[in-house]
Amino acid sequence: MPKNRPNLKDGQLLRKGHLYFMPHLSLDCVIFGFHDNQLKVLLLQWKDTLRWSLPGGFIYKDEHIDDAANRILLSRTGLHDIFLRQFHAFGEAGRVEGQHGLKEISTSKKTWLHERFVTIGYWAIVEFHNVMPAPDEFSEQCKWWDIHRIPKLILDHNMILERALASLRRNLNDYPIGKNLLPKTFTMPELQRLYETVLDKKLDRRNFQKKILSLDILQRMKQRKTGVAHKAPFLYKFDEKKYQRALKQGIKFGI
């Protein structure tokens, strides 16, 4: 049960954060979404410096780090129960000596935020349309960026993002994907675009269909997609039970 978790505003985080959060330890989330046949990442722009970064945060002293990741995800996206995966802890000695996002930090005298930080990286995949990106009191805005057009981020966040993407790609061969990235129902070409986008590679339409269907995690709906040009594609949805089983047991996709 959360006990010591006040909502720290403004300068309070700087002055009082060390009372409630674990020092030296932070957490960064790479939140992937899928829209317009493009892989997107949710980024945050800091006030004052207007620099961009991964959404991140700190871990309450009585909080499981996975819960902290979920909390941070919830606060930026409004989403619960997201597929979340820890992929690496980054602990170079000089990590925080780069430039911060907050001007206040750069200019104020030494606080707990000036100390060295080890950060634990998580990635998540979310359904684009369900997300209402939410900046907090420290951030100017929070918005989706195309994976191919990521700006220069603070600290080592560009590298962390790269590592997250690599982890996501490796994950693709062992576990199904799509449940949280696509709408409830979707077409086979849409699912293929998702795979092609994440892998950054063209796939054969027919072989892809065969492979995916052989995983036995999809259900074909009765009606086809309406209001589209050309031949109407079938709609599919994930079979919840089978999808969950595949998530646990793993699959052999081999792409």
Strand partners, 58: 26
Least distance between a second copy and beta carbon 65 (Å): 3
229 binds DNA (CB under 7 A): yes
98 binds a second copy (CB under 8 A): no
62 binds a second copy (CB under 8 A): yes
Annotate 142-173 with b (16+ C-beta within 10 A) or e (fewer). bebbebeebeebbbbbbebbebbbebbeebbe
| Residue 11 binds which entry of a second copy, DNA, none, CB below 5-8 Å type-dependent | none
Annotate 51-73 with b (16+ C-beta within 10 A) or e (fewer). bbbbbbbbbbeebeeeebbbbbb
| Residue 89 binds which entry of a second copy, DNA, none, CB below 5-8 Å type-dependent | a second copy
| Residue 23 binds which entry of a second copy, DNA, none, CB below 5-8 Å type-dependent | a second copy
Number of other CB atoms surrounding residue 180 within 10 Å: 20
| Contact in structure between 19 and 60 (CB atoms under 8 Å) | no
28 binds a second copy (CB under 8 A): no
> Of 40, 187, 195, 243, which one interacts with DNA (CB under 7 A)?
187
Closest CA to 117 of 21, 53, 45, 4: 21
Q: Which residues bind DNA (CB under 7 A)?
A: 187-189, 204-207, 209-211, 214, 227-234, 252, 254-255
Q: Which residues bind a second copy (CB under 8 A)?
A: 22-25, 59, 61-67, 86, 88-89, 91-93, 116, 118, 120, 170, 174
